[in-house]
Amino acid sequence: MEIVIVADPEAVATVAADAIQRLVTDLPTPVLGLATGSSPLGTYRALIERHRSGGLSFAHCRAFLLDEYVGLPAGHPEAYRTFIERELTDQIDLPPDALAGPDGRPENLATAPARYEQRIAESGGIDLQLLGIGSDGHIGFNEPTSSLGSRTRLKTLTDATRTDNARFFGGDADAVPRHVLTQGIGTILEAGHLVLLATGSSKAEPVARAVEGPLTAMVPASALQLHPHATVIVDEAAAGRLTNAGYYREAFANKPAWQHI
Ligand code: GLP
């Protein structure tokens, strides 16, 4: 795992957007794994800016969401599909039918997980998966105790996650759906490159547990330790609990110019 420590959230966004831009520029049919939550918003803003003023095109890309709430009506402002359309894909030239997310309609739950896995497989697999990290160490919506081999499936959110996400639902944790569909940890681990973003001191502890703690289903983000190409990009505040921060800084500062994240 490579740990990249930069000054602030803007620098986190720049490093992540650079990696995505390189992929989108270099590959004939890039497949992007998109995350929701606040952590990737700066990266999305940087990509939109590069599209508008730098001509970066996503017309040849496909994109898959990590997860989705169950039971929110189509077009609900906090449904993850609506969120990603608003915050990214409506503002770039990704073709609308190139965006896919898990189908969170209750009547489709029996078949939706397998169909989503199949769509990802048919795309040839995700080249770069963006990830945030929950305060309990979750990735996607894989809550603690999620199997490290899990596939896309229905999950029940913990009260802690519903409380964390209440800010998107007018501060009301009861308004946050209890159930979600999420790519499994095994699904996520099949992406070519995992890029986890974290900013702010509230993420310092989960980041340290994921990066320097033991591999454990109690900290789903620790599964990144199993991946051959995982990059954790954090600002100084989110790096605050890392024991080996000096080593990570030195390794990144001395990277040869040709060696990208
Ligand atoms: C939600 C999402 C995760 C995200 C997490 C952290 O639970 N399902 O993908 O990583 O929130 O959110 P934030 O980036 O807003 O801290």
Unique residue bearing structure tokens 């998109």: 34
Locate 103 and state its tokens. 């189908």
Distance 216 CA to ligand 1 centre (A): 19
- State pLDDT tens for residues 68-127: 999 999 899 999 999 999 999 999 999 999 999 999 999 999 999 999 999 999 999 999
- In b/e form, how buried is each residue of 151-178, taking b as 16+ CB within 10 angstroms? bbbbbebbeebbebbeeebeeebeebbe
Please give the single-letter amino acid code of residue 155: K
Distance 134 CA to ligand 1 centre (A): 5
pTM comes to: 0.97
Interval 182-191 mean pLDDT? 98
Distance 137 CA to ligand 1 centre (A): 10
**Which atom belonging to ligand 1 lies closest to the Cα atom of 141?**
8
Unique residue bearing structure tokens 């990059």: 231
SS3 34: strand
List ligand 1's pocket residues with C-beta within 6 A: 35-39, 66-67, 132-134, 140-141, 161, 165
Q: How far apart are CA 116 and CA 124, in angstroms?
A: 13
- State pLDDT tens for residues 197-237: 999 999 999 999 999 999 999 999 999 999 999 999 999 99
Unique residue bearing structure tokens 């060696």: 259
Q: How far apart are CA 140 and CA 220, in angstroms?
A: 9
Distance 136 CA to ligand 1 centre (A): 10
Q: How far apart are CA 128 and CA 227, in angstroms?
A: 12
**Which atom belonging to ligand 1 lies closest to the Cα atom of 198?**
14
- State pLDDT tens for residues 29-41: 999 999 999 999 9
Pocket perturbation via mutation, ligand 1, pick of 138, 139, 188 by most ligand atoms within 8 A of CB: 138
Helices 41-54 and 9-26: crossing angle in degrees, nearest 10, is 50
**Which atom belonging to ligand 1 lies closest to the Cα atom of 36?**
9
Residues tagged active-site: 67, 136, 138, 143
**Cα dihedral sign, 236-239-245-248:** negative
φ and ψ at residue 191, rounded to 5 degrees: -65, 150
Q: How far apart are CA 251 and CA 245, in angstroms?
A: 10
Residues 6 or more apart whose Cβ sits within 8 Å of residue 72:
78, 79, 104, 177
Pocket perturbation via mutation, ligand 1, pick of 67, 87, 164, 176 by most ligand atoms within 8 A of CB: 164
Unique residue bearing structure tokens 């499994």: 184
